Amino acid sequence: MTMKIIFLSIGLMLASVTAFATVQSKASPDKPWRIYVKKDTQNFHYNWNAIAYDYYEGAHILVGTASGAQDYNHTWIDGVGGGGSWATDHTDSTVSDNPLYTGSDHYHVDGQFNWAPTKWPTFTNCTETLTGDTWLLGWADIDVGLDPWQSDQVPLIQNEHCQIVDTGSTWTGTNDYYHYDFNRTADTVWHVQTGGKAVPGLLNLWQFSGSAFVHINKFAVPPFQDLSSYEITNKTQIAIGSLGNLKADGNLWLTLPDDVEKDITLNVAGKDFYTFTVSGQKYELTITAATNNCTPIDLSATRPEFCVGQNVSFVPSWGSGSPPFTNAIYRWHLPSKFVNEPFAYSTYCNSYRLNTDLLTNRTISVWYVNDNGGACSIGMSLQFANGQTVPFAAAGNFTVYKPTATNEVDHAGMVSLDGNFYLQDAPVDFYGHVQSAYHGYANWTQIVNRDCQEAFYVELPSYGQDWLDTHLFYANQADTTVVPGLDNRVPLNDAPEVLIDVHVSNIDKFKTYLMFKPDGDSIYVPIGRVDWGWHGDAFPGILETNCGITAPQYTSTNEFPVWSNVYTSSEH
């Protein structure tokens, strides 16, 4: 049942891919695929205040208060650039029963910065404008880890997700009080552009992987020098955007159409502060075809032409290296009509047929017997070490050329006596006219079906079966060389006869196949057939009136001649 389901899914996939393969074109260049940071946002707010009670010179009470705030935000977008702002504020005040120790100070600085448009991973330094008490910059006690006030800063993108809100109060001593509010959010958004061109029904194989580190210190800020973090070891808790969760080995295999964009931001459910890595690899599959030991041709990039009779090999080809699958099931779909296996039709006849079982091999070789060609495809069911099974397909196009032929009849035959003891049909002369764009050879293969009734059965009938007439090529005649651009004339001359003992009644039916073979690693294939025949009754020296012929009639065909036995010259 599982195997049937796999082949059904491959079949449905092949139907979709093949249906649209005829519109696939590489006339315009493919877009490159790309994995990149689409957007990075960071927001930070931290404010605090403190109160300290103290005594100075024994008798004077001092009440010191201090407060501060820091804010930071930025947004960077691929191809757009971005910018942000920051601010730092600091206030100190002292109240005492002695006016000499009473006073306050307040300092504030603002910054605005911008990044010019760039594409990930290229950045430019920001341009920055500062206002306020700029001399305050650099004080250690106002720096909580963010340093946005550097004029040469590029976006500090850390591949993170952060959603921290925290507030707290504490007494640090008998007379000291401290309160803070901390709020930080950050998100790095990753996308994949699948590249190529949008071809309906066509998908490519992708591998995504990633890792995540959860930060324990909730106050950590870029560039994350704090090492208090741990890795998510159960990779199945990690999702790659909406594409699905990683498997236990940290990989996710799937297919995606070309020329689309997908969010592949890594997500760990239930965790509010983590950094991550994400990567991907596209595996593009094409079908190549070759004949006569020529360089294989990518059928998705060009539409080559092959000739009937040529041995054409089809091979799936991975452009960027084969993915590490552990097993694969294959299913080819090619336009008809072709054969892919020689076989013994009978003891005396070797022919060619279509064996669909061979279409489940990784590579296949065929001989075409008909023209047109069209869309082809290979479907795969790929199995990976992490347990995933991914259906996948590739498609291409090609054309098939078949020579054209006509038939010219010089003599259609006539039933007569040859002396007193032979009944004949003579002469029968016709010519095949072959026009071909490919150099090659042509000849006739003749099949006879003879029903001969005699008193002593001197002549052997074919018992209602088709027999080969003398040789593979009739009368063992030499091939006619077919030259492109010429009218190539292929002769057939026959004069069938039977011996008359006491009385003979004979019916001969002939199927004479015009066979063509192109140069190179090729086979003879039928391009046409002439059907003709004769019948007659006779006594020695006496021709009866119920005699006649079936004049030669030519039709195009792609059916191979087959026979169960051979008529030799001594029997004819």
Check pLDDT > 60 for residue 395: yes
User: Tokens representing 119?
Assistant: 């594409």
pLDDT value at residue 48:
86
Same domain for 563 and 425, yes or no, is: yes
Does 170 lie in the same domain as 93?
A: yes
Q: Among 23-27, 76-80, 425-429, 450-454, which stretch is predicted with the lowest mean pLDDT? A: 23-27
Residue 248 lies in a domain: no
245-303 pLDDT, tens digit each: 999 999 999 999 999 999 999 999 999 999 999 999 999 999 999 998 899 999 999 99
Q: Is residue 23 part of a domain?
A: no
Q: Domain for residue 81, yes or no?
A: yes
- Name the phi and psi angles at 374, rounded to 5: 135, -150
Report, as an integer, the average pLDDT of 111-136. Answer: 87
How many degrees, rounded to 5, is the angle at CA 181 between CA 179 and CA 184? Answer: 155
Evaluate whether residue 381 is within a structural domain. Answer: yes
Domain boundary at 355, 372, 400, which?
400
Cβ–Cβ under 8 Å, residues 171 and 198 = no
The residue ranking higher by pLDDT, 30 or 406, is: 406
Omega before residue 223 within 30° of 0, cis: yes
Domain count of the fold of the chain: 3
Do 492 and 547 reside in the same domain of the chain? yes
Host domain of residue 475:
404-571
Q: Give the integer Cα–Cα distance in Å for 521 and 517.
A: 9
What percentage of residues in the chain have a pLDDT greater than 70? 87
Distance between CA atoms of residues 375 and 397, nearest Å:
5
Is pTM, for the whole model, over 0.85?
A: no
Query: Is residue 333 located within the same domain as residue 387?
Result: yes
Residues 388 and 423 in one domain: no
**Among 68-82, 125-139, 231-245, 328-342, where is mean pLDDT lowest?**
125-139
Q: Domain end: 150, 173, 188, which one? A: 188
Q: Give the pLDDT band (50/70/90) at residue 572.
A: very low
Residue 486 located in a structural domain? yes
DSSP for 381-427 reads EEE-TTS-EEEEEEEEEEEEE--EEEEEEEEE--EEESSSSEEEE--
Q: Take residue 415 and report the two structure tokens written for it.
A: 């039933």
Residue 442's pLDDT is 98
Average pLDDT, rounded, for the chain: 88
In three-state form (DSSP H/G/I as H, E/B as E, the rest C), the secondary structure along 292-322 is CCCCCEECCCCCCEEECCEEEEEEEEECCCC
Say if residue 96 is in the same domain as residue 164. yes
For the segment 172-198, the average pLDDT, to the nearest whole number, is: 86
> Would you say residue 249 lies in a domain?
no
Looking at the predicted structure, is the pLDDT value of residue 392 above 60?
A: yes
In this structure, the answer to whether residues 71 and 126 fall within a common structural domain is yes
Residues 165 and 310 in one domain: no
Q: What span, in angstroms and rounded, lies between the C-alpha atoms of 477 and 489?
A: 14
Is there a single domain that holds both residue 562 and residue 418? yes
How many angstroms separate the CA atoms of 133 and 122, rounded? Answer: 33
Query: What's the rounded Cα separation, in Å, for the pair 558 and 524?
Result: 11
CA distances 420 to 424, 426, 498, 539, 540, Å, are 11, 15, 12, 8, 5
The arithmetic mean of pLDDT across residues 496-518, rounded, is 95
Asked if 414 and 516 sit in the same domain, the reply is: yes
Q: Hey, what are 448's tokens?
A: 């006879």
**Does 252 reside within a domain?**
no
Q: Report the side by side order of strands in the sheet with 238-240.
A: 244-245, 238-240, 266-268
Question: Considering the domain boundaries, does residue 17 fall inside one?
Answer: no
Q: 458: pLDDT confidence band, cut at 50, 70 and 90? A: low
Question: Do 385 and 421 fall within a single domain?
Answer: no
The values of phi and psi at residue 11, to 5°, are -65, -45
- Among the three residues 373, 400, 427, which one is the final residue of a domain in this structure? 400
462 and 362 in one domain? no
User: Which CATH number characterizes residue 325's domain?
Assistant: 2.60.40
* pLDDT tens digits, one per residue of 365-378: 999 999 889 999 99
CA distances from 533 to 19, 295, 300, 408, 491 (A): 45, 47, 49, 16, 17
